[in-house]
Structure 1
Amino acid sequence: MIKKKSFKNNSTHNGTLRTSVTFKHPSLSDDVFESIQLQDEGYTCWAEISDAEQRDYNLLRETNSQETLTLKIRDPLSTFQPKNSDVVIVNDQRHNNELWNVINIKPDFYNRKFLTVTLAK
């Protein structure tokens, strides 16, 4: 007799959102050199971090970036909407508070409560 195999979804819940991330919007400073300055206030939330998938690497060929991450965050709805011009700071020891650029933002089609954000450095 053949037994039915059960398939377990990779579900995201409060236990998997373990890493704090901060979205900041860069702006030009008023000095002579017009350097890029990050706003003090940003949107901080918890995220599930994973490696980029193959389809994300196809996007990143054009940007010439060597390191990529994929974030899964709760959809903030009208509170905050991430943009491609935003910079993300991952508050984790392994990433040493490095600045990551947002490459792609897409809704999670399996669960509408989450957004998937692709980052590159």
Structure 2
Amino acid sequence: MAKVLGLGGVFFKAKDTKKLSDWYHDVLGIDMGEYGASFKPESMPEKGYTVFSLFKQETEYFAPSKQEYMINFVVDDLLGLLIKIEANGGVICGKPEEYDYGKFGWFLDPEGNKVELWQPL
């Protein structure tokens, strides 16, 4: 049966790819190689997983970003990373939230892309 086996990548445009890549490396610790970052399955926490989800066109969940998408990164220290992000020019969106499956926080990167962070419990 022909079917999708997993997420192979996330790609989006940037006004200044070098500057934004450097910011993601310096602030989020993402090792940006020649073709971007590679996340191996073994680096995912035990209860971590990847979600592909569709939102209604009129959703406000991605606000205040004007983008049609939002990336979610799995992290090991949500509050520590949000502090680091804010200290390095990222804009925190709302207050962190906690659910039975993990903690969430949101920010805008230097180009205004909203990013969601998830720390699985």
State the TM-score, normalizing by the size of structure 2: 0.31
**Bigger radius of gyration:** 1
The structure whose residues are more often strand, as a share, is 1
The structure whose residues are more often helix, as a share, is 2
